[in-house]
Amino acid sequence: MPRSGLIQRSRWRITPWHADQYYWPIDTDNTITAWIPIQATPLEMGPLEFSAKSQQIVFGRDLQIGDYSETKIKDNLRTNNFEQVIEAFDLGEVSFHSGWVFHRAGANQTDQIRKVMTVIYMDAEAKLMNPKNDNQIHDWNTWCPGAKIGEVIDTELNPVVG
């Protein structure tokens, strides 16, 4: 997928519960995110955590990342007894998750910046769909410039790889 970038979070800040797919104006659920820490990421640094098998849940898919999504998705996952998975990452380890898997990152309680690279992959036949929210419009303009609604996303930033 189009998005790739370095995320740096300051001390104590969390990344609230969310599903990445909410942001992408594409016509398929065949997506996967690679979460790549650029350093060892112990629990104190707030590594990626996710809710196993939560791609089955529909509630929360329409929530933008923020305080509200953190509270509502966390409550729904707990109510439905979805397993929460959180582990430290050694340097060189990578995590992959589906676009609809709910995930977050905890507070960084160290004096180091948590550095993470994400790369999103999508089906080679993925087409740009009419955006459903302002965030999808933003991602279209930022990560899919030149893509046209109803056509396969094959742009300079998103080349189809065979």
Name the burial class of residue 97, with classes exposed (0-12), middle (13-18) and buried (19+) by CB atoms within 10 angstroms of its CB.
Answer: buried
Q: What is the pTM of this model?
A: 0.87
What is the pLDDT tens value at each position of the chain, 162 positions in all?
444 444 444 455 899 999 999 999 999 999 999 999 999 999 999 999 999 999 999 999 999 999 999 999 999 999 999 999 999 999 999 999 999 999 999 999 999 999 999 999 999 999 999 999 999 999 999 999 999 999 999 999 999 887
What are the structural domains, with CATH classification, of the chain?
4-143 (2.60.120.620)
* Beta carbons of 60 and 19 less than 8 angstroms apart: yes
